[in-house]
Amino acid sequence: MSESPLFLQKTPLSLIDAAAVGALGTIPFYLITGFLNIYLKDIGIITLEERVTLNIILLTLCAFTLPLAGYIAGKIGYIRIMVISGVTHLMLCLSFFKIIFLSPFSTVLSAELILLGISQFYVAPINAFISKLFPTSLRYKGTALRYCIGMALFGGTAPYVSTLLIKMTHSDAIPCIYIIFISFLGIGSVLLGNKLIKDT
């Protein structure tokens, strides 16, 4: 019983940083597959069949791009590839939300493939990065707890936050602001985590 508080006392900054890194690692996927495609169907931009097709194609994309992204991260460095992915999210996010609500299925598919494909270059090295935030004796607990916190706070709530933002502002594109915020959080957390790794 006393081990968990001691664990939290030893690694509070690493836990916070790991959970924040996990935000950008989970939100693009959950926002697109768990909210956006359902919302696009509800407002009549795509059909139910097209929504199912989109999610199948996107899941297939992840299955193929994750190993490729991991390989590239191993060649050029996971810090660099994660930062590049986060910055690219920032650059494309606004255009993505302008296109997604005005275009036919083929363009919706292309836009989602691009954004989710880019996110995989952040996701692929995330476990290797986070594991180095913790000493060997605490690595399993730290990584597992990060996964639970990051998924629950950010990935799991992304559809609800997006729905709430749209209801409050009456703007379909307002979730873009959420992704921009999370992108800044993800980039900053990677840079902070890199400093924590170097200091250990």
Domains of the chain with CATH codes = 3-199 (1.20.1250.20)
User: Would you say 126 and 17 are in contact if contact means Cβ atoms under 8 Å apart?
Assistant: no
Q: What is the pLDDT of residue 17?
A: 84
Look at 167 and 3; give whichever has higher pLDDT.
Answer: 167
d(CA 84, CA 62): 18
User: Quick count: other Cβ atoms within 10 Å of Cβ 113?
Assistant: 16
DSSP code of residue 32: I
Side chain identity at residue 182, one-letter code: I
Rounded average pLDDT over 63-73: 91
Rg of the chain (C-alpha set): 18
Distance spanning both ends of the chain, measured CA to CA? 27
CA-CA distances (angstroms) from residue 114 to 10, 38, 65, 95, 176? 40, 19, 11, 12, 15
**What tokens were used for 198?**
């170097």
pLDDT tens readout for residues 121-176? 999 998 888 888 877 777 777 777 766 777 778 878 888 888 999 999 998 888 88
**Local confidence band at 200 (pLDDT 50, 70, 90 cut-offs):** low
Tell me, what's the pLDDT at 1? 44
pLDDT, tens only, 184-193: 999 999 999 8
20 closest CA partner among 140, 132, 187: 187
